[in-house]
Amino acid sequence: MTGPDAPDEPSDATQVVRVGAYAVCRRGDDVLLVRASERTEVPGTWFLPGGGIDFGEDPADAVVRELEEETGLSCAAPTLLGVLTDVRPRRSGQRVFSVRLIYEVRGLDGEMRHEASGTSDVARWHDARSLDALPLAGYVLEALALSAK
């Protein structure tokens, strides 16, 4: 039996599915990135603004919320570019299957600021032609390639 009336099945705590929404923000040759804080398993790594989608939250609303939380910027209606997936291990022994919805956002408004006590600690524009010099999260270049199509 499957569906909402099915009995609970035991879950495998070593495997986690995480669904997130991420923003590709461009300004000329620059792209907006945020740096992972010490609160993460990958401090110092740069990634796109974004993060987990709350239960019942529309993914487009999630990317707008996450962008504002991590950078202080608001945006016009985001456009879905594509979906990226990967599996990575955590120090805890869990394996995380990440499903990332990649959105292009335009019409940025507001004053940029850094996130206080969150999963990122710095928001900064970077020259897209020099990203190979940064420690990037694995999905970033693939996500940026979606917006170049």
| Predicted local distance difference test score (pLDDT) of residue 16 | 93
**Higher per-residue pLDDT: 149 or 62:** 62
pLDDT greater than 80 at residue 3: no
How does DSSP classify residue 43? T
| Predicted local distance difference test score (pLDDT) of residue 148 | 73
| Predicted local distance difference test score (pLDDT) of residue 6 | 43
Q: For 110-141, write each residue's pLDDT tens digit.
A: 999 999 888 999 999 999 999 999 999 999 99
CA 116 to centroid of chain Cα atoms: 17
Average pLDDT estimate for 20-36: 96
Helix (H) or strand (E) holding 141: helix 140-148
Average pLDDT estimate for 90-115: 94
The CATH number linked to 96 is 3.90.79.10
Average pLDDT estimate for 101-108: 96
**Number of structural domains in the chain:** 1
| Predicted local distance difference test score (pLDDT) of residue 10 | 43
104 in a structural domain = yes
Cα torsion at 52, 119, 35, 28 (round to 10°)?
A: 40
The residue type found at 99 is V
The pair phi, psi for residue 45, each rounded to 5°, is: -80, 140
10 in a structural domain = no
7 in a structural domain = no
28 in a structural domain = yes
Average pLDDT estimate for 52-78: 96
pLDDT greater than 60 at residue 38: yes
Residue span of the structural domain in which 99 resides: 15-148
Predicted model pTM:
0.88
55 in a structural domain = yes
90 in a structural domain = yes
Residue bearing tokens 């923000």: 25
106 in a structural domain = yes
Q: Of 143, 141, 53, nearest to 105 (Cα)?
A: 143
35 in a structural domain = yes
